[in-house]
């Protein structure tokens, strides 16, 4: 029995420490209450003071805000500073009667500034307030209207122009034209239109509307003849346009002459072709991109003053010498005049390279035809006047610079490309890729590209032109009904219904261009986003022309006339005879 109790006592003595060992380990690991962290929460007994955070005994450091006794407050404690010791800058320490004048609470309502919104009666609100502008008076070119994707209809504005909406079936020869070729030329103009942003490009409504149509044209790509015709009919509407008071427009032709030249002056090549000078200032109040076709160009002097630019006589006397503006040199003044009339040329250099130049500006003086001067001096009879006769006379009289000085106008050029003449014959690709480059910066298409007044029309605008032209070089005229694209300009191309047809390069193109000086009908194709009705309502009526009866009464002839005799006899109204070619030379300057 005693042995059994002994074993029991031994077992209890051995097992009991095993149960007490974890508890002893926990107590040894736990810190004493006096060493508890200030952030500890659970180990703090309830007997601690109520103002403690529960984890900090009274004997803990004094940096705790709530554990600091009242008799030992830190100097910087806000609650421990008496009111009479508050700093002067304290808000609470400033009496109300000492508040600054600019304090909002100290300012009475009667003393509010006059510019306060509450102090202004509604009747005195400024007239430019947004709420005061009726919706009907909001500007048409708001931000939403300018956006390409949300373009709103706007009126077409062409000064001094008569506009008449017409139907497609009234255009003679419309369905018989090659619309696929016209669409390809239109695509050529669309690419530069879309590359320029609205801020960088033209701000006219026609420009913004054309970008919409060009996006659709580039999306569809190449089209057949019928598909191209449907595309133009769906996206445009035809408008018959003329200059106010005229019944038709005017058509001329131009080409790219091929002339021999040199990069350096020699005994043979001694007439320079100039690029546009840096001191040439465009005419003021010019409209449209590029250099304007009309207006007085100016020259900026070293002092900053603006004066008229040098005329032809001053330039021939050496006004531009030493400024390094020479592009190349050619043989004679006759070739230089031809280049200035046509507005572009291919200069065949001595090594066979073709230097291509194009119109880039003018000095601002009106063009005076040499043919008019020669006819007035009876050097060449009017009936025999032609461009060929003028050239022959200038070749035979190279010293007659005095006649050239009568034409004060002078044209400047820019280089648009270099190519090898031998390479051009075997070069792949369509021929139009190797044609002259117009003012829009794209290759011109012979028979499809026209030069227009860029102050009125936007590059890329389609025109359907109807005329009778001598296309075979003979006196017979053939019907010319064709869709053309505006891609170029010139100094003499002025007016809403004025176009110069590009015929290509070489002698054959020159023959076609030299025989074109005819009236024609112009149909302007306007995108459907624009509103031609509003534009037509703003057009003033042309002045009334005097009747034949009034003209007969004004006649100084003592003979008594009747209406039936006004077309002949002594009462006929004298009209000076003018051969067609003389008029052509008078207006063909580019």
The whole-number average pLDDT for the span 142-153 is 39
The CA-atom distances, in angstroms, between 448 and each of 56, 417, 438, 473, 500 are 97, 21, 12, 19, 11
Q: Give the residue, 393 or 101, on which the prediction is more confident.
A: 393
Q: Give the residue, 90 or 471, on which the prediction is more confident.
A: 471
Residue 219 pLDDT greater than 70, yes or no:
yes
- Share above pLDDT 90 across residues of the chain, in percent, rounded to a whole number: 31
Q: What is the pLDDT of residue 21?
A: 62
CA dihedral of 51, 57, 59, 60, whole degrees rounded to 10: -90
Q: Give the residue, 47 or 285, on which the prediction is more confident.
A: 285
Least-confidence region, from 142-146, 433-437, 521-525: 142-146
The whole-number average pLDDT for the span 515-542 is 76
Least-confidence region, from 96-110, 142-156, 232-246: 142-156
The two tokens of residue 267 are 């005994």
The whole-number average pLDDT for the span 50-61 is 52
Residue 412 pLDDT greater than 80, yes or no:
yes
Mean of all residue pLDDT scores within the chain:
74
Q: What is the pLDDT of residue 216?
A: 94
The whole-number average pLDDT for the span 393-418 is 84
Nearby residues of 320 by Cβ (< 8 Å), 6 or more positions away: 274, 277, 310
Residue 259 pLDDT greater than 50, yes or no:
yes
The CA-atom distances, in angstroms, between 79 and each of 57, 65, 82, 424, 467 are 22, 11, 8, 97, 101
Q: What is the pLDDT of residue 79?
A: 58
CB 332, CB 246: distance < 8 Å? no
Residue 524 pLDDT greater than 50, yes or no:
yes
Q: Rounded to whole angstroms, how far apart are CA atoms 338 and 256? A: 10
Give 190's pLDDT tier (boundaries 50, 70, 90): very high
Tokens 């010139």 belong to residue: 490
The two tokens of residue 310 are 């040098």
Q: Give the residue, 288 or 413, on which the prediction is more confident.
A: 413
Query: Exposure of 73 by Cβ count < 10 A (0-12 exposed, 13-18 middle, 19+ buried)?
Result: middle
Q: Rounded to whole angstroms, how far apart are CA atoms 489 and 409? A: 16
Least-confidence region, from 168-172, 338-342, 414-418, 561-565: 561-565
Q: What is the pLDDT of residue 210?
A: 93
Residue 258 pLDDT greater than 60, yes or no:
yes
Give 242's pLDDT tier (boundaries 50, 70, 90): very high
pLDDT digits (tens, 9 = 90+) for 307-363: 999 999 999 999 999 999 999 999 988 889 889 888 889 999 999 899 999 888 888
Residue 381 pLDDT greater than 80, yes or no:
yes
Query: What are the domain boundaries of the chain?
Result: 2-30, 548-582
Q: What is the pLDDT of residue 103?
A: 46
Query: Exposure of 273 by Cβ count < 10 A (0-12 exposed, 13-18 middle, 19+ buried)?
Result: buried
Q: What is the DSSP string of 328-380?
A: EEES-HHHHHHHHHHSEEEEE-TTSEEEEEEEEEE-SPPP--HHHHHHHTTSS
Q: What is the pLDDT of residue 411?
A: 92
The two tokens of residue 542 are 């042309």
CB 327, CB 412: distance < 8 Å? no
Residue 24 pLDDT greater than 80, yes or no:
no
Residue 129 pLDDT greater than 80, yes or no:
no
pLDDT digits (tens, 9 = 90+) for 196-206: 654 455 678 89
Residue 554 pLDDT greater than 90, yes or no:
no
Least-confidence region, from 125-139, 231-245, 254-268: 125-139
The two tokens of residue 429 are 């690709």
pLDDT digits (tens, 9 = 90+) for 427-480: 443 344 467 888 898 999 999 999 999 889 999 999 999 999 887 655 677 889
Reference 510, options 331, 259, 274; nearest CA is 259
Query: Exposure of 348 by Cβ count < 10 A (0-12 exposed, 13-18 middle, 19+ buried)?
Result: middle
Tokens 């200035």 belong to residue: 340
Give 151's pLDDT tier (boundaries 50, 70, 90): very low
pLDDT digits (tens, 9 = 90+) for 470-510: 876 556 778 899 999 999 988 778 899 999 999 998 888 88
Query: Exposure of 224 by Cβ count < 10 A (0-12 exposed, 13-18 middle, 19+ buried)?
Result: exposed
DSSP element (H, E) containing 214? helix 205-220
């Amino acid at each position: 029995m005693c042995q059994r109790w002994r074993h029991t006592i031994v077992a209890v003595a051995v097992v009991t420490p095993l149960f007490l060992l974890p508890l002893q380990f926990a107590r040894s690991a736990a810190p004493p209450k006096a060493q508890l962290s200030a952030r500890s929460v659970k180990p703090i007994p309830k007997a601690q003071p109520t103002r403690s955070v529960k984890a900090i005994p009274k004997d803990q450091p004094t940096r705790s805000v709530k554990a600091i006794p009242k008799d030992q407050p830190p100097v910087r404690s806000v609650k421990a500073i008496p009111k009479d010791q508050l700093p002067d800058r304290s808000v609470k320490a400033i009496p109300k009667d000492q508040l600054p004048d600019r304090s909002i609470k100290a300012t009475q309502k009667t003393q509010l500034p006059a510019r306060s919104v509450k102090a202004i009666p509604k009747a005195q609100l400024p007239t430019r307030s947004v709420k005061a502008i009726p919706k009907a008076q909001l500007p048409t070119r708001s931000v939403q209207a300018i956006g390409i994707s949300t373009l709103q209809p706007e009126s077409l504005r062409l000064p001094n122009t008569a506009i008449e909406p017409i139907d497609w079936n009234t255009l003679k020869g419309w369905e018989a034209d090659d619309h696929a070729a016209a669409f390809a030329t239109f695509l050529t103009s669309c690419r530069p239109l879309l590359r320029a942003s609205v801020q960088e490009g033209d701000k006219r409504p026609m420009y913004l509307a054309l970008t919409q149509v060009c996006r659709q044209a580039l999306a569809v790509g190449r089209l057949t003849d019928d598909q191209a015709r449907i595309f133009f009919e769906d996206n445009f509407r035809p408008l018959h346009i003329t200059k106010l008071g005229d019944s038709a427009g005017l058509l001329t032709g131009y080409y790219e002459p091929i002339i021999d030249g040199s990069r350096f002056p020699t005994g043979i090549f001694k007439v320079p072709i100039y690029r546009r000078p840096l001191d040439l200032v465009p005419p003021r109040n010019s409209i449209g991109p590029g250099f304007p076709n009309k207006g007085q160009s100016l020259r900026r002097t070293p002092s900053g003053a603006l004066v008229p630019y040098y005329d032809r006589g001053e330039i021939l006397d050496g006004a531009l010498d030493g400024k390094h503006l020479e592009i190349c040199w050619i043989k004679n003044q006759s070739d230089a005049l031809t280049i200035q009339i046509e507005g572009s040329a291919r200069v065949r250099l001595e090594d066979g390279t073709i230097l291509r130049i194009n119109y880039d500006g003018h000095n601002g003086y009106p063009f005076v035809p040499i043919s008019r001067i020669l006819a007035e001096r009876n050097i060449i009879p009017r009936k025999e006047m032609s461009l060929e006769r003028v050239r022959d006379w200038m070749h035979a009289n190279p010293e007659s610079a005095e006649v050239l000085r009568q034409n004060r106008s002078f044209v400047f050029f820019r280089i648009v490309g270099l190519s090898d003449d031998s390479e051009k014959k075997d070069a792949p690709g369509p021929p139009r890729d190797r044609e002259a480059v117009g003012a829009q910066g794209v290759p011109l298409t012979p028979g499809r590209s026209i030069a227009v007044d860029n102050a009125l029309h936007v590059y890329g605008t389609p025109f359907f032109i109807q005329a009778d032209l001598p296309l075979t070089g003979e006196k017979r005229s053939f019907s010319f009904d064709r869709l053309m694209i505006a891609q170029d300009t010139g100094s003499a191309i002025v007016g809403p219904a004025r176009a110069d047809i590009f015929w290509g390069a070489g002698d054959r193109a020159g023959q076609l261009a030299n025989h074109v000086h005819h009236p024609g009908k112009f149909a302007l194709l306007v995108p459907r986003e624009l509103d031609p009705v509003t534009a037509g309502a703003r057009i003033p009526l042309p002045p009334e022309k005097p009747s034949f009866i009034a003209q007969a009464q004004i006649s100084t002839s003592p003979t008594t006339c009747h209406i039936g005799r006004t077309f002949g006899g002594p009462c006929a109204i004298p009209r000076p005879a003018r051969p067609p070619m003389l008029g052509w030379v008078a207006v063909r300057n580019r």
